[in-house]
Structure 1
């Protein structure tokens, strides 16, 4: 019997499973940890961007995105003890391109939004480097402040700087309230006990 359970676990761990297959008590804990940590990251990044904009405008904020966003994410990961990533299909930084599981989550949100819903989260169970992990995804909407660098119309000088920093940029053309992407929080299964 133990052998059968181990084989079944290995099969499930090798695949992505969705939130419908997670027991409610675990799901509530995953949502609590995921939401809390996603908000810490978002507040940290937004705070730095607002500070940079007030000190030197949008070009200064763009420099923060280019040079500091990944560093700030790593700092928050150390503080919280969970791995995080911002990802989208329309990424600016190639390091933020979605992996196959993140693509599944992004497709879930896009489909739901087309159906007139805006889910508050999405959860998967995946094997990350041999560790059973719950992935919590918090959807992001475009806010007015985002439109300066991600909107349909961008200042020419700023657009030139974006192009120089991100030659393959895909992250423009948004309107206020559009679905922007997700924050993914990876929570090792042993933290959900």
Structure 2
């Protein structure tokens, strides 16, 4: 049996610009605000109930879905990803305290200006030619045309582990995180 512990997971990020219609811009912004809302609520729950664990944070997410319709409209995996981000911030804080890092320890803070929402393997679907993506949750984002020179056709749909919509100063982007075989080498493209 081969020892695979020496291999690390390699992820490749491919980014496309999208030009959403005005109603899609509103839907994307609503999805981003909802993810921010979930993250802030879960963080507040952790602050009010010290000593709780990962399972309790995910249960808080489930409770939020039952209480708030705006959270229910966002894909469940997008909410889980937001909880994972909060959990990562909490874990880093505890590690910094345990390792006695000098200075500020990075206490988790509330988000005021989120710019992205991230989906796992559901809540989106690529078209057959892989030039359009459709977001299938209840936020109403719909179909977006992917604009860019990178070709995602080289990768299998099963390799795409995360899809993120990002609002930047010059517009909106969709990023695909693709899991690669750890034994493959990646050579950067030179312009």
The structure with more helix, counted as a fraction of residues = 1
The structure with more strand, counted as a fraction of residues = 2
With the length of structure 1 as denominator, give the TM-score of the two structures: 0.33
Which structure exhibits the higher relative contact order, with contacts defined as CA atoms closer than 8 Å and separated by 6 or more residues?
2
